Amino acid sequence: MRVASVSEAKNKLSSLLDQVKGGETIVIAERGKPVARLIPVPPSDGDARLVRLEREGLIRRGGGDARKVVDIASPVPRSGGGTAAVDAIVDERRHGR
């Protein structure tokens, strides 16, 4: 647990918040006496599993914006042969390919 003075908290709030995001608890002290505590917000139920998997090294969450990667405004690709995709799948299953 880290202790920061009120003046340090005012001057370095962004840095302190980054530390809190990393899981650290920070006590804010005024004239050497603790007056407040910055603690991480617990993950919501939906995020708890992701946080656990990330800690175990099983997943790594992306940091980018998926909307920039996938162009949802582009037209849907069509098959060139004039055959519907469902017909192609049914034909493939019938002939065992």
Query: Which of 7-11, 71-75, 76-80 shows the lowest per-residue confidence on average (mean pLDDT)?
Result: 76-80
Which pair of structure tokens corresponds to residue 54?
């990330």
Question: What is the b/e burial string over 4-41, where b = at least 16 CB atoms within 10 angstroms of the residue's CB?
Answer: beeeebeeeeeebeebbeeeeebebeeeeeeeeebeee
Average pLDDT over every residue of 70-90 = 70
SS3 11: helix
CATH superfamily of 2-55: YefM-like domain (3.40.1620.10)
pTM reported for the whole predicted model: 0.47
How many beta carbons lie within 10 A of that of residue 81, not counting itself? 8
Residue range 27-74, pLDDT digits in tens: 999 999 999 999 988 767 677 788 888 888 898 877 777 666 666 666
Q: Round to the nearest angstrom and report the end-to-end CA distance of the chain.
A: 62
